Amino acid sequence: MNKKYKHVAITVMIALSFVQIFCINKLEEEKKSKQCMTPENIKTHATLAEITEELNCLKGKEILSANKVNEDWHVKVKIKGDKEELLKELSKLPECEIIDFNINKNKDENSIVLELIDK
């Protein structure tokens, strides 16, 4: 009888350990996937400085050009990194409309050049 309780106790402890590991991984994943902008924060940008601040959440970004056409900002951004980094950065992209994009893949560097409209 004593051996059965030991086996049950060990099994329960192992199961709780797996649940704990799963929960910790989920919490870490949520911390890492930081969103730059939530739907309630959507607003019109009056200046280029505000747009630049919004795009600061992107790693390896370089703003190539920015023009204000009518009331909309047209911003050209280059993002550098490997395939997985580029996909992560695209998911963090703020609520902007992508009008044009260019994917460059070289031996040493991968990059995406995006032309965005910020309304």
User: Same domain, yes or no, for 45 and 72?
Assistant: yes
pTM over 0.85: no
For the chain, how many structural domains are there in total?
Answer: 2
Residue 44 gets the label, from left (phi > 0), alpha (psi -120 to 50) or beta, of: beta
How far is residue 38's CA from residue 59's CA, in Å, rounded to a whole number? 19
Q: For the segment 2-18, what is each residue's pLDDT rounded down to a tens digit?
A: 888 999 999 999 999 99
Residue 119 has pLDDT above 70, yes or no: no
User: Same domain, yes or no, for 50 and 84?
Assistant: yes
Task: Say if residues 119 and 97 touch (Cβ distance below 8 Å).
Answer: yes
Q: For the segment 61-110, what is each residue's pLDDT rounded down to a tens digit?
A: 888 888 888 878 888 989 888 888 888 888 887 777 888 888 888 877 88
User: Same domain, yes or no, for 54 and 95?
Assistant: yes
Q: Give the structural domain span for 12.
A: 1-32
- Number of helices and strands in the chain (H, E): 3, 4
Show Cβ contacts of residue 110 under 8 Å, excluding neighbours closer than 6 positions. Answer: 80, 81, 82, 83, 86, 103, 104
Q: Which residue has the tokens 């009888």?
A: 1
User: Same domain, yes or no, for 55 and 20?
Assistant: no
| Predicted pLDDT of residue 53 | 80
Q: For the segment 21-52, what is each residue's pLDDT rounded down to a tens digit?
A: 999 988 887 776 655 545 554 455 567 787 78
How far is residue 25's CA from residue 67's CA, in Å, rounded to a whole number? 42
In CATH, what number is assigned to the domain containing residue 51? Answer: 3.30.70
User: Same domain, yes or no, for 50 and 107?
Assistant: yes
| Predicted pLDDT of residue 34 | 57
Task: Say if residues 67 and 91 touch (Cβ distance below 8 Å).
Answer: no
